[in-house]
Amino acid sequence: MLRKKRHPIILFLCIAFMGLTAWSAARLRATPVAQEQPSPRVLKREPHLKSEPVGIKKILIRGKTQKANIPFNDTKDFWKGLQIEIYSNSDQDIAYVSIFALVKPINELPTRYAVPAEFGDSKLLRGRQDIHPDKLLRPHQHAMLTLGDTSILDRNGATNPASISFAVREVIFADDSMWYLGERLTRDASDPTSFVVVKPKQNHARKLSNPRSPTG
């Protein structure tokens, strides 16, 4: 049986290629991966509006409480582990809560991108829904929220926040009334997808003159 002889040049090239591959792999393993340096961040609480039915108790990053308005250093993805603990200030049962996280990226003009953190079913904003009693936030109860759809950050290259501000935006109660940015509303009877502002009741009491005032 005849054996084919390998050409010395081909054999040399094969050995050289294998050696180069092994050297490259070893070099990649030895090269340290550059780690992101933490940058200054801050969490803020937007000014309270009158009669807010829901409060923000604390904000957590990766399970640890981070105080508002106190700068801290962290990596750009810190917001991915963000949680918001809310509590009810109301004496009514609450079916839905929307907290807006207003994200301001690093090195950008005052543009802020709103990311919702929600309790309950957001379909209540578009019409009446059956609400299971177990899904309600009772008076003085607490709930933990996480950020919802963050695609707006990806679309606008805003995934490296310098600051995030939090604001209570809207609350829908079990009786289908709403609190929205400081105003009370009720669902529009002619259009269940809309809410209308509840006008304060007029005080019709007449101001009487003081019966003890001296007469002429």
CA-wise closest residue to 56 among 68, 40, 64: 68
Global pTM?
Answer: 0.75
State the pLDDT at residue 172: 96
Give the DSSP letter of residue 46.
P
Sorting pLDDT into bands at 50, 70 and 90, what band is 131?
Answer: confident
Mean pLDDT along residues 85-110 = 93
Distance of CA 88 to the CA centre of its chain: 18
State the pLDDT at residue 206: 38
- The two tokens of residue 97 are 């809560």
Task: Work out whether strand 113-120 and strand 72-74 pair parallel, antiparallel, or are unpaired.
Answer: unpaired
pLDDT of 24 above 60 = no
Mean pLDDT along residues 41-48 = 93
Sorting pLDDT into bands at 50, 70 and 90, what band is 154?
Answer: very high
176: left (phi over 0), alpha (psi -120 to 50) or beta: left
Side-chain-facing half-sphere of 202: CA atoms under 13 Å: 2
pLDDT in tens, 66-97: 999 999 999 999 999 899 999 999 999 999 99
State the pLDDT at residue 77: 93
Q: Which amino acid is located at 168 in the chain?
A: V
pLDDT of 17 above 60 = no
State the pLDDT at residue 110: 80
Mean pLDDT along residues 202-206 = 43
- DSSP secondary structure of 117-132: EEEE-GGGGTS-----
State the pLDDT at residue 37: 81
pLDDT in tens, 144-153: 999 999 999 9
Mean pLDDT along residues 13-36 = 58
